[in-house]
Amino acid sequence: DTAVSQTPKYLVTQMGNDKSIKCEQNLGHDTMYWYKQDSKKFLKIMFSYNNKELIINETVPNRFSPKSPDKAHLNLHINSLELGDSAVYFCASSERQGAYNEQFFGPGTRLTVL
Amino acid sequence: RKEVEQDPGPFNVPEGATVAFNCTYSNSASQSFFWYRQDCRKEPKLLMSVYSSGNEDGRFTAQLNRASQYISLLIRDSKLSDSATYLCAGSVDGNKLVFGAGTILRVKS
């Protein structure tokens, strides 16, 4: 069983479109995260939710909107996609809130905006 | 200055060699540090946490130097399977991890 899963694995779309990425964890963790890894391999936190409550909201364009319907799911919706949004988006989870907790990453969603 | 900085490498070493990476951090208040391993086109996976007293796990040793604000990872007896990108990470506040850009290691036979 995959602990942290993401769909889709690959996403190719045109500029201006709206798309969603879904994430689910079956570890029973309280905290989930979205990271963006760009072409230079920097892995940067975007958002974090703890028990469905937003706790980290980095300087991210408001075209990006996370939603956590329950603590096992954290989805990311992106409006009006731009070329610069092309990257790999990783979902992660940790047992509880706090940077000292091990984070488990999903396999990533490779987004290409044309 | 970036919050967490690493030498991107690549470090090209023969099998059996010992190799060490350093990672510097700018925020002296950072409390938690980690080394993650990322294989090509895969997700990062925790390799080890870094404690003030150092941490050893088999061939891997991680150390923290608070005075000079860096963490290190030492790999002894390198294997081909150690080839990967090694990401260091540090907490900026209690909740957020900041990652370095990674150091590429290539172990060759």
- Quote the CA–CA distance of A80 and B80 in Å, as a whole number: 43
CB contact under 8 A, B49 and A102: yes
* Chain B residue numbers touching A56 (CB-CB < 8 A): 95-96
Q: What is the pLDDT of residues B20-45, one digit of tens each?
A: 999 999 888 888 899 999 999 999 99
Residue A1 has a pLDDT of: 62
Count Cβ atoms below 10 Å from residue B17 Cβ, excluding itself.
Answer: 15
- pLDDT above 80 (res B46): yes
Chain B CB within 8 Å of residue A84 CB: no
- pLDDT above 80 (res B93): no
Q: What is the pLDDT of residues B64-76, one digit of tens each?
A: 999 999 999 999 9
- pLDDT above 80 (res B8): yes
- pLDDT above 90 (res A22): yes
Contacts with B35 (C-beta within 8 Å, 6 or more apart), sequence order: B46, B47, B48, B50, B60, B62, B71, B73, B86, B87, B88, B89
A-B contacts (CB, under 8 Å): 50
Residue A11 has a pLDDT of: 97
Q: What is the pLDDT of residues A55-107, one digit of tens each?
A: 989 978 999 999 999 999 999 999 999 999 999 999 999 999 988 889 999 99
For residue A107, what is the nearest residue in chain B, using CA coordinates? B43
- Quote the CA–CA distance of A7 and A49 in Å, as a whole number: 19
